[in-house]
Amino acid sequence: MLDTTALNQQRNFFEGHADIWLFGYGSLIWKADFAYLERRPAFITGWARRFWQGSHDHRGTPDAPGRVATLIRAQGAVCHGMAYRITSDVLAPLDVREKNGYLREKVPLTFLNENGGTAGQSEGLIYLASEDNPAFLGEAPLADMARQINQAHGPSGPNREYLLNLASALRELGVDDAHIFALEQQLDRLPGYQ
Ligand code: SIN
């Protein structure tokens, strides 16, 4: 199976930095099972969140992959998420978690304050599954993606849970993400996963 761990260990964009801002836009928003010093709502621009990445290791299997979030380039788009200030030792387990096609990339982040106003910028790290990675599934009709998500299960649990947790985390952050909420609505119309 695909494994980007070794590649990511060469991608040391923040070598020598005491801490690093990691920007999460998918499960890293709602499943922060790693140590962090601080976290702040933030956004990145020029990227849109899409359920176009296959999950063969967490929310699906090699034979029946699930669908999880990645980012695609989209001029003028704003992608909201959560930024975590971490120390560099946290990256090794994250590389393993994100090994199915995600690569470390450096992007500019903008932080938000409690009132939703902007509160400074920093360079940050994202895990990006670009369309040339072998686990990339790409676009499909919304209803088909919802059906796939409804059926897929993997070692980390039902794929459905990933989408529903992400949708509620975004709602909690006050973020309107049309793609995610439309998928959630499609999922609501389907019977519960078996
Ligand atoms: C992220 O959450 O930022 C990356 C994709 C994922 O782990 O769901």
The pLDDT tens digits of the residues spanning 132-141 come to 999 999 999 9
Mean pLDDT, rounded, for 35-43: 97
Which residues, listed in sequence order, are joined to residue 53 by a DSSP beta bridge?
68, 136
Question: Is pLDDT at 4 greater than 80 in this prediction?
Answer: yes
**pLDDT tens digits for range 91-102:** 999 999 999 999
- Which pLDDT value is given to residue 1? 81
CA of 158 to the centre of ligand 1 (A): 16
Cα of 81 vs centre of ligand 1, distance in Å, is 10
Task: Work out the mean pLDDT of the chain and round it to a whole number.
Answer: 96
For the segment 139-193, what is each residue's pLDDT rounded down to a tens digit?
999 999 999 999 999 999 999 999 999 999 999 999 999 999 999 999 988 876 4
- Altogether, the residues listed in the chain come to a count of 194
Q: Among 23, 28, 43, 125, which is best to mutate for testing ligand 1, by the most ligand atoms less than 8 A from CB?
A: 28
Q: Calculate mean pLDDT across residues 61-67.
A: 97
Residue 192: the pLDDT is: 63
Atom of ligand 1 nearest to the CA of 28: 2
**0.75 exceeded by the pTM?**
yes
Q: Is 8 within 8 Å of 104 (Cβ atoms)?
A: yes
**Alpha carbons 184 and 78: distance in angstroms, whole number:** 20
Report the distance separating Cα 90 and Cα 177, nearest Å. 29
Among candidates 60, 194, 68, which has minimal Cα distance to 137?
A: 68
- Among residues 170, 181, 149, 161, which one has the least CA distance to residue 55? 149
pLDDT at 30: 97
Alpha-carbon distances of 192 from 149, 161, 162, rounded to whole Å: 11, 11, 14
pLDDT at 193: 46
Assess whether pLDDT exceeds 70 at residue 194: no
Query: What pLDDT shows up at residue 125?
Result: 98
pLDDT of residue 78: 97
SS3 labels along 90-106: HHHHHHHHCCCCCEEEE
Q: How far apart are CA 193 and CA 135, in angstroms?
A: 23
State if residue 26 touches ligand 1 by the CB under 6 angstroms criterion.
Answer: yes
* Residue 56 to residues 93, 105, 135, 154, Cα–Cα distance (Å): 18, 22, 8, 7
Whether residue 98 has its Cβ less than 6 Å from ligand 1: yes
Whose CA is closest to atom 1 on ligand 1? 26
Residue with token string 């801490």: 19
Mutate to test the pocket of ligand 1, among 4, 21, 22, 25 (most ligand atoms within 8 A of CB): 25
Report the nearest atom of ligand 1 relative to the CA of 162.
8
